[in-house]
Amino acid sequence: MIKIAKEFKPESVFMGRLEKGADIVSSLEEFCAERGIKAAWINLLGALDKATISYYDQEKHQYFHRELTGDYEIISCSGNISLKDGKPFAHLHIVLSDTEYSAIGGHLWPNTVSVFAAEFAIFKLEGDTGAEDLVRCPDVETGLALW
């Protein structure tokens, strides 16, 4: 059963590159805030040398983190922008491969990344009812901030 479904249409696409050493989450949130982007889909690829990823333990309602350092290719990083506490919030998941070609992935945390090089595409979305309806709020059942 679907809990929520909003209809959006692509309004515009922004493509760019992050500076070396930049943090992915905070940089994209700042970019969206500066441009008034309240709802978007994000794709990103590149490389990094530091990041914290996590998984969410569904029983304990707690994130478990893993700090990574070294050379990693960003195989895929995707997610969305919606509003949380009145500001653009980037919910991103990332898959990385290391120097042994092994992959690891998880939820990407803000202020933990050091990008080597990264290119992004932000697909700004507009809906009939407005992006204000796509707001993250605490969900008692899951312990997460959901739409």
DSSP for 56-78?
EETTTTEEEEEEEEEEEEEEEEE
Domain that holds residue 108: 9-126
Q: How far apart are CA 75 and CA 46, in angstroms?
A: 7
Is 145 part of a structural domain of the chain? no
Position 127 pLDDT exceeds 90: no
**Alpha helices (H) in the chain, listed in sequence order:** 24-35
Question: What's the predicted TM-score (pTM) here?
Answer: 0.92
What is the distance between the alpha carbons of residues 4 and 134, in angstroms, rounded to a whole number? 9
pLDDT of residue 101: 97
| Averaged pLDDT for residues 75-101 | 97
Domain contains 138:
no
Report whether pLDDT(125) > 80. Answer: yes
Residue 136 placed within a domain: no
